[in-house]
Amino acid sequence: MPRTVLVIGAGLAGARCAEALRAGGFGGRVVLVGAESIPPYERPTLSKEFLGNAREAADILLRPRAFWSEHQIELVLDTRIDAIDVAARTAISTSGKVFSWDALVLATGALARRFPRPAPRGVHVLRSLGDALALREKLRCGGRLVIVGAGFVGTEVASTATARGVDVVLVEAGPGPLGRVLGPEVSALLADRYRAHGVELRVGASVGGFLSDRAGRLRAVKLADGESVACDVALVALGAIPEPPPIPGLRAEGGVATDACGRTTIRSVYACGDLANTWRPALGARLRIEHWTNAASQGAAVARAILGREEQRDDLPYFWSDQFGLRLQYVGHAQEWATVDLDDDGDSFSAIYRSADGRPLAALLANRPGDVGALRRELVVERAAA
């Protein structure tokens, strides 16, 4: 059993890992180091209630501030680890502080993908509380917001900003919003809904750059076909990339590869959350998932592995999104599917993604929370039978 577990990254996965170590009876030191200045908090609210002014920083903490010391978890904030020596079992922060460890957990999450070229003032990304505060402040005056990328973060911000009275233009290079994950049928349903809420949706349009005035203030987003879309604020919502761990030899492009318990290829080094590319026995493949439920359960799974109580967990992926009066809930995993069964009654809908032989692979429910349990059970049975 290790004497000191060092968890790098005080987000959801790191926090859950630290908590689960204590809950599992671990008696050694647990040190949780995070680059941000706030204790672990709920990231999903940043594009929803927090951006809509319905919550403040103090309301979004995962645990009350005193929780960490009460559970003998040494929470070290404002500290970025930028070097790890595996042989010496140390990690060194930017300011030169040295942390030693017997087991190391990498929970550094992901970074918002930025626009490939330098962008003027007024062009935002949304990943951290700091990002959300800056964007929220800019939206205070209303105006016109161009969102580049109609993925989950982009569409949720479109929903929140519209509700705040901001004019929103949503620019998507693909044929429709959320099309890659949810397919063209659901994408078309959602596109109609966004337009009905006043969003100007530009699909099949890629962004070539940004135009600013002499003072360097953003004035417009320039589309690749030369058209300029005037705006006061822009959000680049082009997804996230794993935050590379400072360990030579652990590649992070597609995430840090782990087994089903979160072990990396380096002894006593584990990875979890958005960073981890975890082996999924049921899929027979590795998968990196950027969702809340996955980060929470992987953090706990790594704690169990450290405690020697490993169980190969292979939970059915699940995520939710709140937007334009819809609670979207997605269960399962379908990268490809043959057919989609859509059932739409105007106020709510469901979409079941099926394989060529008719097996359900995944399901999306919109405002049908009561159906999630039954669908989940069906998908688990199907997966076991496959």
Ligand X SMILES: Cc1cc2nc3c(=O)[nH]c(=O)nc-3n(C[C@H](O)[C@H](O)[C@H](O)COP(=O)(O)OP(=O)(O)OC[C@H]3O[C@@H](n4cnc5c(N)ncnc54)[C@H](O)[C@@H]3O)c2cc1C
Where on the chain is the footprint of ligand X (CB under 6 A)? 8-14, 33-36, 43-44, 46-47, 80-81, 107-110, 126-127, 153, 243, 273-275, 290-293, 295, 319-321
By C-beta, is 187 or 321 nearer to ligand X? 321
By C-beta, is 44 or 360 nearer to ligand X? 44
By C-beta, is 9 or 149 nearer to ligand X? 9
Contact 314, 324 (CB under 8 A): no
By C-beta, is 42 or 354 nearer to ligand X? 42
Least separation, in Å, of the C-beta of 29 and ligand X? Answer: 17
Least separation, in Å, of the C-beta of 329 and ligand X? Answer: 10
Q: How far apart are CA 295 and CA 204, in angstroms?
A: 32
Q: How far apart are CA 279 and CA 329, in angstroms?
A: 23
By C-beta, is 21 or 220 nearer to ligand X? 21
Least separation, in Å, of the C-beta of 87 and ligand X? Answer: 19
Longest dimension (CA), the chain: 64
CA separation, residue 243 to residues 18, 84, 251, 296, 371 (Å) = 20, 15, 11, 18, 36
Stretch (H or E) spanning 21:
helix 12-23
By C-beta, is 47 or 277 nearer to ligand X? 47
By C-beta, is 187 or 329 nearer to ligand X? 329
The number of C-alpha atoms within 13 Å of 335 and in the hemisphere containing its C-beta is 6
Q: How far apart are CA 114 and CA 356, in angstroms?
A: 37
By C-beta, is 323 or 354 nearer to ligand X? 323
Contact 205, 224 (CB under 8 A): yes
Least separation, in Å, of the C-beta of 157 and ligand X? Answer: 8
Least separation, in Å, of the C-beta of 200 and ligand X? Answer: 22
Nearest Cα neighbor of 356 from 376, 336, 342 is 336
**Looking at the DSSP assignment, which residues form a beta bridge with residue 75?**
32
**What are the two backbone dihedrals, phi and then psi, of residue 112, each rounded to the nearest 5 degrees?**
-65, 135
The residue of the chain with the least Cβ separation from ligand X equals 11
Stretch (H or E) spanning 376:
helix 372-385
Q: Which residue reads 């017997």 in tokens?
A: 102
Query: End-to-end CA distance of the chain, in Å?
Result: 38
Least separation, in Å, of the C-beta of 358 and ligand X? Answer: 28
Least separation, in Å, of the C-beta of 108 and ligand X? Answer: 4
Least separation, in Å, of the C-beta of 10 and ligand X? Answer: 6
Q: How far apart are CA 301 and CA 294, in angstroms?
A: 10
